[in-house]
Amino acid sequence: MKQRGKKYVEALGKIEKGKGYTKEEAIKLAKETSISKFDGSVEVAVRLNLDTKKADQQLRGAIVLPHGTGKTKKVLVIAKGDNAKKAEEAGADYVGDVDMLEKIEKENWFDFDVMIATPDMMPLLGKLGRVLGPKGLMPNPKTGTVTTDVAKAVSEVKAGRVEYRTDSFGNVHGIIGKVSFTEEQLLDNLNAFMATILKVKPASVKGDYIKNVAITTTMGPGIKILVNSFDK
């Protein structure tokens, strides 16, 4: 069994084993049990009653959090002409087309967090799927990263848009802010995240949709939230 540090054990002692907390209590506890020396992230993990072998039960999308994530993301936009100009004006860190794709391919360059592309550029990105896909960087219409409105997409990413997708077990993870955020900011972000997950519930789901919700901070223990804290 992995040996836990003294700080972790102390933090764990503040959480009642097996207890589910209201979302307000859980956020307060998350801030109190953060043990990292830096301003850690606060993450939510949601276990859903999904059969991910069915295409309609594989969830993927993006959420613009009211207070952002506390992290500024570097954005690369693959576009030409007027769209490239709009991307630059919207605050994209890098804008280009073939030149940028060659830089990724030849120099193994990945100094960006999000890639946005216009639909006409997608055929050029095909050959880079094998390197972009595993890193979660391949643009996708479901997450709003393949779009003709590049200015809006760049603005949303810069404002704190987070992407989500189910893993093979039906779990969804997402960052909802930093430990330094106020409890109110974290609560707003958590509510926005959960409202989106509830909104995209597949029609074919039978029984309870949400099985489990927990939040944790970087290196901190998990805190279970009562499922009925959220409107179903």
Domain 6-68+161-229 and domain 75-158, same fold? Reply is: no
Query: How large a percentage of the chain has pLDDT more than 90?
Result: 64
Where in the chain are the domains?
A: 6-68+161-229, 75-158
Q: What 8-state DSSP symbol labels residue 26?
A: H
Burial of 73 (0-12, 13-18, 19+ CB in 10 A): middle
Q: Which pLDDT value is given to residue 13?
A: 66
Residue 6 pLDDT class (50, 70, 90 cuts)? confident
Residue 108 region by backbone torsions, left for phi larger than 0, else alpha for psi between -120 and 50, else beta:
left
pLDDT tens for each residue of 209-225: 999 999 999 888 889 99
Q: Which pLDDT value is given to residue 1?
A: 40
61 SS3 class = strand
Residue 63 tokens read as 């959420």
- For residue 112, give the nearest of 156, 151, 158, 179 by alpha carbon: 158
- Average the pLDDT over 54-66 and give the result: 90
Residue 231 pLDDT class (50, 70, 90 cuts)? low
- Give dist(CA 139, CA 99) in Å, integer: 17
CATH number of 75-158: 3.40.50.790
- Average the pLDDT over 50-77 and give the result: 90
Q: Which pLDDT value is given to residue 3?
A: 54
**Angle, vertex CA 97, rays to CA 82 and CA 80, nearest 5:** 15
Instruction: State the pTM of this model.
Output: 0.75
Rounded mean pLDDT of the chain?
90
Q: Which pLDDT value is given to residue 37?
A: 83
List beta partners, residue 115. 76
**Angle, vertex CA 223, rays to CA 65 and CA 194, nearest 5:** 30
pLDDT tens for each residue of 167-203: 989 999 999 999 999 999 999 999 999 999 999 999 9
CATH superfamily of 6-68+161-229: Ribosomal protein L1/L10, rRNA-binding domain (3.30.190.20)
Contacts of 63 (CB under 8 A, 6+ apart): 161, 162, 164, 174, 192, 193, 196
Residue pair 49/175 in contact (Cβ under 8 Å)? The answer is no
Q: Which pLDDT value is given to residue 143?
A: 87
pLDDT tens for each residue of 67-101: 988 888 899 999 999 999 999 999 999 999 999 99
